[in-house]
Amino acid sequence: MNSYSEMSGCGLAGIVNREGKPIPGKYIYDSITSMKERGNGMGAGYAAYGIYPDMKEFYAFHIMLDEIDRESEVNGVLNRFFKIVKGEVIPTREVPSLYKKTKPPVFYRFFVEPKREAKLPTESEEDLVVRAVMTINEKVKGAYVISSGKNMGAFKGVGHPDEIGDFFEIKEYEGYIWLAHTRFPTNTPGWWGGAHPFTLLDWAIVHNGEITSYGTNKRYVEMYGYRCTLLTDTEVAAYIFDLLFRKHRLPIRAVFTAMASPFWKDIEHYKESGLDKVYEMAKTIRTVYSSAMLNGPFAMLFAFKDGIIGFNDRIKLRPFVAAEKGEVVYMASEESAIRVVCPHPDKVWMPKAGEPVIALLNYCDSENVCYPA
Amino acid sequence: MEVKSLGEDIYEIVCGTSHYREVNSKVKELVLKGAKKVILREVYGQRYIGTGIKGKVKIEVYGTAGNDLGIFLFGPEIEVFGNAQDGVGNTMKEGKIIVRGHAGDVCGYGMRGGKVYIEGDVGYRVGIHMKGYKDLVPTFIVGGKAGNFFGEYMAGGILILLGLTKRAGEDIVGDYCATGMHGGVIFVRGEVPSRYLGKEVKVFEPDLEDMKILTKELKGFSDAFNIPLDEILSEPFTKIVPVSTRPYGRLYAHRWAVARGLIK
C-alpha cells in the first residue's frame, strides 16, 4: 500500500490477556496497522509487558541514543545508580522506507539492579529509578529513556505502525499486555522520542488528542521533581499517573476521577440524587487535584503490569471502543481494528465519556486496586 | 481484494484489509458498468462507502463499515449487516442507510435528506446540525439509546429515538440533548430527564398531526428491522421543538441595535 494519508487524528490499540497468557506481537501489529489511515507516518510505537521473562527481576531500560558514542555517558550515569546486569543493542531490521523520513537513532537496552548505596535517605527503589530516568533525559545530551519498567519495554519511532513494527521486529515478541499507537502530530514535532507510548517505571500510555491544560499539569508535576523533556503533551499524563497512583496511593478509580473529573453540575447532581458519599469524594478529589485534571479532547490507554485502563475526555471528543472475548480485552480507536484480530467478540461497546474501562489481570480481586497492586 | 460477478448486474467484492480508495473506486466502476447491487464482504473499517455515486444502486456491507459511511450520499441504498463506526450519513442528501447493529459518534451530521435507520445504540453527537429545506426533509431513526449532544444545533428534519434496547434504570439519551436547536423536530419514545435538555427547546405531547408523521416514518423502520409498528407505538412519545429559530441571535448583538429595534 502507498504511504498516502489524510488529516485524521491518531489511532490507538491495546490488548490484554487477563490470565497473563502471552499474546503474539502479530495481533497488535495487525490491529494498529489496520488504522494506518489515522496516522501520517510521523510516529508509531508499541509497549509490551511480559517480554523479558528471564530478566523479570531487573529494570529494563530502553534507551534511545542520537549517536552510538553517547552509550558511554549513559553507561556512566547508570553505573552511579545501578549494577548493570546486561547491556545490548536492541535488535532491529532493515526498513528502507523509514530512512527516507529520518535517520533512525540507536536503541540500547540495559537490565539493571538498583544499588542500595545510591539511594538518598528518604528515597524508595522506584524513586531512585525515576531520578535516574530524569537525570538521563535532562543531563545526557542526545540520550532519552524510552522505558524503564520490569519485564516490559517500549519500541517507538518516526514511521507508520507497520514500518516501526518491522524495524523493531515486534512480531518476534510475545507479551500478555500490548499497547500500540499511530501518530498524526499536530502541535509538537514528529521525532523519534516524541512518538508514543510514553512510559515511566512500568506505566505506559498512548494518547489520541491533545492536552490543552498542559501548562497547568506540567507546573504541577514539576513541583514533585518530574521533568518534561520530550516536547509533547502526553508525557505529563504518565507523570501525573505515577504521582497519584504510586506516590499518593490513590485507588485507581480515584486517579481517573481526578484526571477526567465530572463537571461541577454533575457532582452537584450526585448530592441531589442522594449519593452523599460519592458527592463528597468527587468534590474532594476535584478540589484537591484540580491541577491534575486533563482538559481538552483525548482518548488514552494506560497500561501497567496488572492491566490496561482506557478512558476519554469528559465530553468524548475522540473515539474509543472496547471489546471482550473470553479472557482477552481489546481497546481501540475504531471497532474495525478490534474485529481485524478478533472477528467475533463476546461483547463490543462504546464507553461513556470520562468513564474508565478497567481491564485488570484476574489476580487483582477488586477494581479498586491501590499501589502496589 | 477479490471481485466476482453474481449473475446479472450483481457483484461481490471481498474487501479484507484493502485500502478504501481501491474498494470505493471499484464500486464506482461497477456502478458505471450498470451494476444494480454490490455486495461488500469482510469489510474492516473501509471509509466513505457509497460516496460519489449518483443513482439507485443497492450496496450491502458485511462486516464493520468504516467512518463516514454514506457521506454526501446521493441516491444509493446501503444496508450494513454488522456495526457501523463514526459519521454515518454525514451530510447525506438522498438515499437510505440501514445499519443492523450499533453506530458510533457524530452520525447524521449536517444531514439534509434521505433516511437513516440504526437498529441499536448510537454514540455522542448524533443528529447535530441536521437541516431541511422545502421538500428535503431528512429522517434519522435510532432503535436504541443515544449519548450526549443528541440533536445539538439541529436546524431541520426529523430525529427519532426509540430506546428499544434500554434497560431499567438506564437513560435513553445523554446530557445536552437538543442544545441550541432551532429547527426540525425530535421525537423520543418515553421521557427525557429535564436536566439533560437544552434551554432552547420545549417539550410537548405529540398531537394527531405529529402522530401521523411519526407513524409514517416509523413504518419504514418497522419494515426494515421487522419490528411490529404497534409495539414501537405502544409507549407515549415526547416531542421536542425549539422555542426560537434564532436562539443566539442576540448573543453578540450591540445593545444599541437591540434598543433601536434593528435586532429582534
For residue B45, give the nearest of A334, A348, A353 by CB distance: A334
Q: Please report the pLDDT score of residue B188 as a whole number.
A: 97
Say if B129 falls within a structural domain.
yes
Nearest CA in chain B to A334: B85
Q: Look at strands A357-360 and A307-312 and give their pairing.
A: antiparallel
Reported in sequence order, the residue ranges of B136-216 that DSSP labels E, i.e. its strands, are 139-142, 155-161, 183-189, 201-204
Say if B177 falls within a structural domain.
yes
Biggest alpha carbon–alpha carbon distance for chain A:
64
CB contact under 8 A, A340 and B104: no
Q: For each of chain A's 373 residues, which pLDDT tens digit applies?
A: 333 333 457 999 999 999 999 999 999 999 999 999 899 888 999 999 999 999 999 999 999 999 999 999 999 999 999 999 999 999 999 999 999 888 999 999 999 999 999 999 999 999 999 999 999 999 999 999 999 999 999 999 999 999 999 999 999 999 999 999 999 887 777 889 888 999 988 899 999 988 899 999 999 999 998 888 777 788 899 899 999 999 999 998 899 999 999 999 999 999 999 999 999 999 999 999 999 999 999 999 999 999 999 999 999 999 999 999 999 999 999 999 999 999 999 999 999 998 899 999 998 866 667 776 5
Say if B106 falls within a structural domain.
yes
Interface A–B counts its CB contacts (< 8 A) at: 59
Nearest CA in chain A to B67: A334
By annotation, the residues of A acting in catalysis are 10
Nearest CA in chain A to B45: A336
Q: Please name the amino acid found at residue A369.
A: V
Please state the rounded mean pLDDT for residues B239-245.
91
Task: Reply yes or no on whether the pLDDT at B64 is more than 50.
Answer: yes
Count of residues in chain B? 264
The Cα A126–Cα A31 span in angstroms is 33
Q: Model pTM?
A: 0.93
The Cα B161–Cα B143 span in angstroms is 6
The Cα B92–Cα B110 span in angstroms is 8
Say if B39 falls within a structural domain.
no
Question: Which grid coordinates belong to B27?
Answer: 464500486
Nearest CA in chain B to A338: B44
**Domain CATH code at residue B234:** 2.160.20.60
Q: Which residues of A touch B149 (CB under 8 A)?
A: 315
User: Is A7 near chain B, with CB under 8 Å?
Assistant: no
Please state the rounded mean pLDDT for residues B8-29.
95
Question: Which grid coordinates belong to B79?
Answer: 444496508
Rounded to the nearest integer, the mean pLDDT of chain B is 94
Crossing angle for the helix pair A276-288 and A252-259, to the nearest 10 degrees: 60
Cα angle B130-B132-B138, degrees, rounded to a multiple of 5: 65
For residue B85, give the nearest of A34, A336, A340 by CB distance: A336
Q: Please report the pLDDT score of residue A373 as a whole number.
A: 54
Domains annotated for chain A, with CATH where assigned, are 11-257+297-360 (3.60.20.10)
Say if B17 falls within a structural domain.
no
The residue among A152, A175, A156, A178 whose CA lies nearest residue A165 is A156
The Cα A301–Cα A92 span in angstroms is 26
Name the domain count of chain B.
Answer: 1
The residue among B69, B31, B30 whose CA lies nearest residue B49 is B69
For residue A340, give the nearest of B20, B44, B47 by CB distance: B44
* Residue pLDDT, tens place only, A62-94: 999 999 999 999 999 999 999 999 999 999 999
User: Is A351 near chain B, with CB under 8 Å?
Assistant: no
For residue B124, give the nearest of A34, A316, A339 by CB distance: A316
CB contact under 8 A, B44 and A348: no
CB contact under 8 A, A335 and B105: no
Q: Computed over its alpha carbons, how large is the radius of gyration of chain A? A: 20
Please state the rounded mean pLDDT for residues B25-51.
95
DSSP of A31-76, one letter per residue?
HHHTTGGGS-SS-EEEEEESS-GGGTTSEEEEEEESSGGGHHHHHH
A173: enclosing H helix or E strand: none
Q: Look at strands B74-81 and B94-99 and give their pairing.
A: parallel
Say if B69 falls within a structural domain.
no
Q: Look at strands B115-118 and A347-349 and give their pairing.
A: unpaired
Q: Please report the pLDDT score of residue A133 as a whole number.
A: 94
Task: Reply yes or no on whether the pLDDT at B62 is more than 70.
Answer: yes
Q: Which residues of A touch B81 (CB under 8 A)?
A: none
User: Is B217 near chain A, with CB under 8 Å?
Assistant: no
Q: How confident is the model at residue B170 (pLDDT cuts 50, 70, 90)?
A: very high
* Residue pLDDT, tens place only, B112-143: 999 999 999 999 999 999 999 888 999 999 99
B:38-77 residues touching chain A, CB 8 A cutoff:
43-45, 47, 63-64, 66-67
Please state the rounded mean pLDDT for residues B84-111.
96
Q: Please report the pLDDT score of residue B264 as a whole number.
A: 66
Task: Reply yes or no on whether the pLDDT at B26 is more than 60.
Answer: yes
ipTM, 2 decimals? 0.91
Q: Which residues of B touch A1 (CB under 8 A)?
A: 19
Please state the rounded mean pLDDT for residues B96-116.
97
Q: Please report the pLDDT score of residue A77 as a whole number.
A: 95
Task: Reply yes or no on whether the pLDDT at B250 is more than 80.
Answer: no
Question: Which grid coordinates belong to A155?
Answer: 519500541
Please give the residue range of the domain that contains residue B129.
102-259
Say if B138 falls within a structural domain.
yes
